[in-house]
Structure 1
Amino acid sequence: MKEPLQVSESEKWHFEQGPVRPPSEARSLLLRVSRHCPWNRCTFCPLYKGKAFSLRSVEDIRRDIDVVARHLDTLRERLAGDRLDASVLALWRDHLPAAERAPFWAAALWLSGGLESVFLQDADGLIAGPVQLRAILDHLRKTFPWPFRVTAYARSKTVLRYRPEDLLALRQAGLSRLHIGLESGCDTVLRQVCKGASRAEHIMAGRRVRQAGIELSAYVMPGLGGRNLSERHARDSASALCAIDPEFIRLRTLAIPGGVPLAQEWLSGRFELCDSRELARELLLFLQSLDAAHGELVSDHALNLFEDLSGRLPKDLPRLRSMVEAFLVLPDERRCLYLVGRRGGVLRGLADLQDPGRQAAAAAICRKLGATPDNVEEICRLLMQRLI
């Protein structure tokens, strides 16, 4: 009698995409290189808690690429120059077998974004190793032979496992940009939130990425030091970023969801959250300490106090500082209106308060929630939790 057929891992393949990507990669093709986070100990991050890390095989990722390519060819043939229509796409998708719907939608989203970028998921795109990553990049470029950028999240510790020549080879194979969460340049803050990397390691890794010719998008988290370490967090983060001088500095303001270790520290009183004025003063000090940076400051996230706090460094620093200073001198009622409008999603920055329609929408949210200068901080904290 014949032996039962043994199903290999590659035969169990199905198309996968992970849960997260940067806002700048909203129209990218998302390729899942690994599942979840290899570190997963940061006290502020809820995303991968309780989920086991694993690597996907190069063969499975190649299959992901191939199935997207097949659907992309079909879409181009069917559309024949017509614009993408969401209702038509949904109709086409719903007539596909269940296993084909996710890659079809991934191809359609990528096509709608101009086929300009591929993002390697999940939390650390470099964790697969240089040989495996090179094989993935080679297959990407062979399958899609037009110019596009390839980006990924990475941890500083993982970057430091790569030799400079390995990073250079990946850049030559098409790796364009890495997104690294420094979160802070203050060693005390980094230890308290279990980031798993020191200030010196962040600086060394950032410089290594830049020396390889790979663009670096470095993240800092306003508020992460709490009240006690706010000033040190601001100064040390700015000085670390000046030492690295990345192409992009991105702000991601702290919000504390339930179920993470930092929530327990906050509830017990061991960690004190900054209120909006304290957060603004921290931002102002951060901006006052960034004179040696030359990249773009980007505030592209709903959690940030100002989503329009963006500009070229150091040229735009006076303008950026004046935006924060304007918030700090707002009368209490005006500040309450702005905060609720901002956290309620109808305002991006202070300039939007000059728009009668947006101002009216913010006032309506204030009335609905019963927001006053006395309770606005708590209301906004709850609104921010919904955005995580």
Structure 2
Amino acid sequence: MRYEGPIYRPPSEADALLIQATVGCPHNKCTFCMIYKNGPRFRIRPVQEIMADIDSASRMYGPNVKTLFFPAGNTIVMKTDDLAAICIYARNVFPDLERITVYGSSQYIHKKGLSSLKQLADAGLNRIHVGLESGNDDILRHVKKGVDAKRQIEAGQWVVAAGIELSLYVVLGLGGVALTDSHADATANALNRINPDFIRLRTFVPKINTPILDDVKSGKFKMLGPHGVLKETERLVRQLNVTSCLASDHYTNYIDVHGKLPESQNQILAQIKAACQLPESQFRPFFIGDQ
């Protein structure tokens, strides 16, 4: 098996076989992301190469692989027929596969449309991990996400309608002090309209070699402290009207809140309220991320 450039996978795909389908990210403009800023340039690997790596993995691990993730940063951008072909091929090689997963940004999902997503579902694609980040258009423009809330909502709704599991990521604190309330409100609205299978919380941490770190250092972007992030989380969770699994499975978060909504909503809110009573010195310190 061959790998090129940074290979990242969601924490929930920790046990998955990784077969690289694309290299880099076709957008690569988000001001908070450092992963592909120094390359390599985005490209899609030839289908025959991907299939050859699937064969190689079969020789190494046998036929009983349960989960498969196709890196890199935006594999959903592949031609629908090609992505469907490698999903079908993987299921033939690994007949016990329970899940095939990719990363995909909303703008590329939106370009595919519902019919192509249904084709991918029929081919065996089970889950797409999507960085929603925020439902606020001002924040999305500032971080150069390349998509607005309307298209993010439509793309998410189409994934759900196609029968593919949707795992959406929200970055707490991404609006800073100035936009914390509107970030929580607009993001809750987007999540309610999409009703994804999973809502995964991340807390904004400025990363090395990113434009947003320059804004933090200059004071242009004022970050929320631990209590600010917790209050934003409370405001977000309080407005959720979804049947999603909520998780904060990431090292950037100040506390771990998780549960099935709406059943766990009051329990999660109580946990956040209790955490707000603790002094900020008891939470993880500020740091600049390097990965």
Counterpart position of 1:101: none
For the residues of structure 1 that align with 2:110 and 2:207, how far apart are their CA atoms? Answer: 31
Counterpart position of 1:319: 267
For the residues of structure 2 that align with 1:318 and 1:62, how far apart are their CA atoms? Answer: 47
Counterpart position of 1:59: 48
Counterpart position of 2:161: 211
Counterpart position of 1:39: 27
For the residues of structure 1 that align with 2:87 and 2:271, how far apart are their CA atoms? Answer: 42
Count of residues in correspondence between the two structures: 289
For the residues of structure 2 that align with 1:163 and 1:39, how far apart are their CA atoms? Answer: 19
Q: 2:68·2:97 contact (CA, 8 Å) conserved in 1?
A: no
Unaligned runs of 5+ in 2: none
Q: Which runs of 4+ in 1 moved over 6 A?
A: none
Counterpart position of 1:171: 121
Confirm whether residue 20 of structure 1 aligns to residue 16 of structure 2: no
Q: CA deviation at 1:130?
A: 0.4
Q: 1:16·1:64 contact (CA, 8 Å) conserved in 2?
A: no
Counterpart position of 1:276: 226
Counterpart selection for 1:130 from 72, 80, 89: 80
Q: CA deviation at 1:127?
A: 1.0
SS of aligned partner of 1:46: coil
SS of aligned partner of 1:44: coil
The structure with the largest alpha-carbon Rg is 1
Counterpart position of 1:329: 277
Counterpart position of 1:303: 252
For the residues of structure 2 that align with 1:300 and 1:219, how far apart are their CA atoms? Answer: 11
Q: 1:34·1:125 contact (CA, 8 Å) conserved in 2?
A: yes
Q: CA deviation at 1:192?
A: 0.5
SS of aligned partner of 1:122: coil
SS of aligned partner of 1:321: helix
Counterpart selection for 1:154 from 100, 104, 109: 104
For the residues of structure 2 that align with 1:259 and 1:295, how far apart are their CA atoms? Answer: 34
Aligned ranges for residues 80-91 of structure 1 at < 5 Å?
none
For the residues of structure 1 that align with 2:268 and 2:232, how far apart are their CA atoms? Answer: 13
For the residues of structure 2 that align with 1:64 and 1:259, how far apart are their CA atoms? Answer: 33
Confirm whether residue 180 of structure 1 aligns to residue 85 of structure 2: no
Counterpart position of 1:84: none
Q: CA deviation at 1:170?
A: 1.0
SS of aligned partner of 1:163: helix
Q: 1:151·1:176 contact (CA, 8 Å) conserved in 2?
A: yes
For the residues of structure 2 that align with 1:279 and 1:165, how far apart are their CA atoms? Answer: 39
Counterpart position of 1:381: 286
Q: 1:220·1:250 contact (CA, 8 Å) conserved in 2?
A: yes
Counterpart position of 2:18: 30
Q: CA deviation at 1:163?
A: 3.2
Query: In structure 2, what residue type is equivalent to 1:15?
Result: R
Counterpart position of 2:36: 48
Unaligned runs of 5+ in 1: 1-13, 77-110, 344-379
For the residues of structure 2 that align with 1:257 and 1:126, how far apart are their CA atoms? Answer: 25
For the residues of structure 2 that align with 1:296 and 1:138, how far apart are their CA atoms? Answer: 28
Q: 2:66·2:96 contact (CA, 8 Å) conserved in 1?
A: no
Partner deviation per Cα, 1:18-61 (whole Å, 9 max, x = no partner): 52000000010011111011000000001110211111110110
SS of aligned partner of 2:168: strand
Partner deviation per Cα, 1:277-334 (whole Å, 9 max, x = no partner): 11111111111111x1111001111111112x0011111111101111111122x3xx
SS of aligned partner of 2:103: strand
For the residues of structure 2 that align with 1:188 and 1:232, how far apart are their CA atoms? Answer: 9
Q: 1:182·1:218 contact (CA, 8 Å) conserved in 2?
A: yes
Counterpart position of 2:243: 294
Counterpart position of 1:265: 215
Aligned ranges for residues 224-235 of structure 1 at < 5 Å?
224-235=174-185
State TM-score, norm by structure 2. Answer: 0.96
Q: 1:179·1:218 contact (CA, 8 Å) conserved in 2?
A: yes
Q: CA deviation at 1:258?
A: 2.1
Q: CA deviation at 1:72?
A: 2.0
Q: 1:221·1:251 contact (CA, 8 Å) conserved in 2?
A: yes
State TM-score, norm by structure 1. Answer: 0.72
Q: 1:23·1:300 contact (CA, 8 Å) conserved in 2?
A: yes
Going by fraction, where is helix more abundant, 1 or 2?
1
Counterpart selection for 2:61 from 48, 72, 81: 72
Query: In structure 1, what residue type is equivalent to 2:60?
Result: H
Partner deviation per Cα, 1:120-152 (whole Å, 9 max, x = no partner): 111112111101111111210111112420011
